[in-house]
């Protein structure tokens, strides 16, 4: 395993380690794959939200008035299309009041640079806790472009969540956005010559949506 960069949080939870094994297995069907991704997303969401700020609120119990806590900032989930959509459900289970925006990234055929072809994000993004969802952090180009776009829309507090990350992708994202914390279920060995993560899990979108 590669040396762990300072902006990377690898969630080494026993349940995540079990579910990463399920999504790596080429014999796991799309339903089994999707269910495991949902469970991984639950744990990733809980880990990311440890840094959320709280505010004190009043609450009425059946017996008296007391105080409790609410989230100080709105949470906005930004799945990167299309594979990022598969992580939304797991995050919403843990953060049910989160808003959801969308960013689509594709590669310019002439320049080979990633570009935003679609976006729809809440107007409250400058004051929100933003979590970008993309199952695979491979080269890091698409992820960095999505985050760069969100910053142009005013996003200030951004975290990135993925299932599997490569050393190359983590380094690139840190180079472009050193203020963004990365949360992943697995930190893999390397990219192959085609840009696939090894040992990886194949194409997350195809396996999640059954489009193999």
Residue at 142 is within a domain: yes
Residue at 43 is within a domain: yes
Q: How many domains, the chain?
A: 1
Taking residue 153's Cβ as centre, other Cβ atoms within 10 Å add up to 16
Question: Taking the model in full, what pTM does it have?
Answer: 0.93
Region class of 74: left (phi > 0), else alpha (psi between -120 and 50), else beta: beta
Q: Which 8-state DSSP code applies to residue 111? A: T
- The rounded average pLDDT for each run of 10 residues, N- to C-terminus, in the chain (212 residues) is 76 95 95 96 97 96 97 96 94 97 82 82 95 96 94 96 96 95 97 92 90 79
* Nearest alpha carbon to residue 118 among 79, 160, 173: 79
Residues recognised as catalytic: 107, 111, 203, 206
Kindly report the CATH number assigned to the domain that includes residue 45.
Answer: 3.40.50.2020
**H or E element in which residue 8 lies:** strand 8-10
CA quadruple 145, 149, 152, 155: dihedral sign: negative
Distance, CA of 162 to chain centre: 4
């Amino acid at each position: 395993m590669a040396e762990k960069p300072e902006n990377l949080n690898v969630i080494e939870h026993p349940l995540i380690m079990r579910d990463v094994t399920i999504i790596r297995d080429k014999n796991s069907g799309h339903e089994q794959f999707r269910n495991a991704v949902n469970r991984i997303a639950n744990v990733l969401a809980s880990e990311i939200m440890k840094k959320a700020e709280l505010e004190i609120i009043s609450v009425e119990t059946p017996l008296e008035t007391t105080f409790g806590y609410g989230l100080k900032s709105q949470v906005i989930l930004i799945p990167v299309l299309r594979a990022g959509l598969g992580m939304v459900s797991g995050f919403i289970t843990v953060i049910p009041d989160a808003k959801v925006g969308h960013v689509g990234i594709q590669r310019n055929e002439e320049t080979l640079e990633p570009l935003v072809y679609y976006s729809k994000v809440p107007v409250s993004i400058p004051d929100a806790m933003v979590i970008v969802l993309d199952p695979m952090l491979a080269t890091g180009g698409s992820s960095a472009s999505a985050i760069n776009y969100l910053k142009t829309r005013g996003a200030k507090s951004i975290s990135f969540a993925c299932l599997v990350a490569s050393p190359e992708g983590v380094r690139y994202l840190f180079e472009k956005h050193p203020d963004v914390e990365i949360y992943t279920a697995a930190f893999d060995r390397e990219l192959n010559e085609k840009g696939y993560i090894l040992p990886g899990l194949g194409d997350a979108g195809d396996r999640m949506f059954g489009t193999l």
